[in-house]
């Protein structure tokens, strides 16, 4: 049993060895541009996924550049998207998010940058034609299931953040509307009181009349 657990642990560690991922949520001010750099080997599968969590119309410009400065991916005013490619040479790849088209909207952006391919894990397991292949296959299944769970958790966490910001914004507008209504009602009530008092106030004759 201990040996089987050790093999499962080894298989899961192979997944982390063959791939690495970076998840980040950052603030992107108005009229701003934020870039990230990553050195990647040749022939490596790379995936970039991003989503605007809060701010404005929930959109940003996104661009991915090769080490030579070539444009691999470019989209404008996207709320969310995913881009996958395979590097053709080793070098520093750059991906940027821009909010330069916005003059006042502050954005919060989430991205997931994954370098490597988990398929190598299946290939590694397939090399062993032993009685433990079934155990190794089960470990791979557990690994894939955990990836799905993590993806769902991230998805729901982003949706919860968006819903919370929208609810807070709506609550703020309702508060302002309620205060405005209270002020209007107060002014209207005072005006009505002054008008009614003027109807019942006796007008005294002027003392400068003829004697």
Per-residue pLDDT of the chain (211 residues; tens, 9 = 90+): 434 444 444 444 444 444 567 888 899 998 999 999 999 999 999 999 999 988 888 899 999 999 999 999 999 999 889 999 999 999 999 999 999 998 888 899 999 998 986 654 555 545 554 545 777 777 777 877 887 888 788 788 878 877 887 888 889 889 999 999 999 999 999 988 888 888 777 666 655 555 4
Please tell me the chain's helix, strand, coil percentages from 3-state DSSP, rounded to the nearest 5: 45, 30, 25
Q: Evaluate if pTM is beyond 0.85.
A: no
Task: Flag whether 102 is in a domain.
Answer: yes
Q: What is the CATH number of the domain that holds 16?
A: 2.60.120.380
Left, alpha or beta for 58 (phi > 0: left; psi -120 to 50: alpha)? Answer: left
* Number of structural domains found in the chain: 1
Q: Give residue 119's domain range.
A: 2-164
Task: Flag whether 119 is in a domain.
Answer: yes
Task: Flag whether 170 is in a domain.
Answer: no
Cα(184)–Cα(80) distance, integer angstroms: 43
């Amino acid at each position: 049993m201990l040996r089987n657990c050790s093999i499962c642990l080894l298989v899961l560690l192979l997944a982390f060895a063959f791939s690495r991922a970076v998840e980040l949520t950052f603030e992107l001010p108005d009229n701003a541009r934020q870039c990230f750099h990553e050195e990647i080997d040749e022939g490596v599968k790379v995936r970039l996924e991003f989503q605007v969590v809060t701010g404005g119309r929930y959109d940003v410009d996104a661009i991915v550049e090769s080490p030579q400065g070539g444009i691999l991916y470019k989209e404008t005013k996207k709320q969310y998207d995913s881009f996958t490619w395979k590097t053709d040479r080793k070098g520093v790849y750059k991906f940027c998010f821009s909010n330069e088209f916005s003059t006042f909207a502050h954005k919060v952006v989430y991205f997931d940058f994954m370098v490597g391919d988990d398929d190598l894990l299946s290939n590694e397991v397939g090399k062993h034609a032993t009685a433990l292949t079934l155990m190794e296959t089960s470990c791979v299944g557990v690994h894939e299931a955990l990836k799905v769970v993590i993806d769902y958790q991230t998805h729901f966490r982003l949706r919860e953040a968006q819903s919370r910001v929208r609810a807070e914004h709506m609550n703020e507008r309702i508060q302002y509307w309620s205060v405005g209504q209270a002020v209007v009602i107060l002014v209207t009530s005072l005006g009505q009181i002054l008008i009614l008092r003027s109807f019942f106030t006796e007008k005294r004759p002027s003392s400068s009349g003829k004697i």
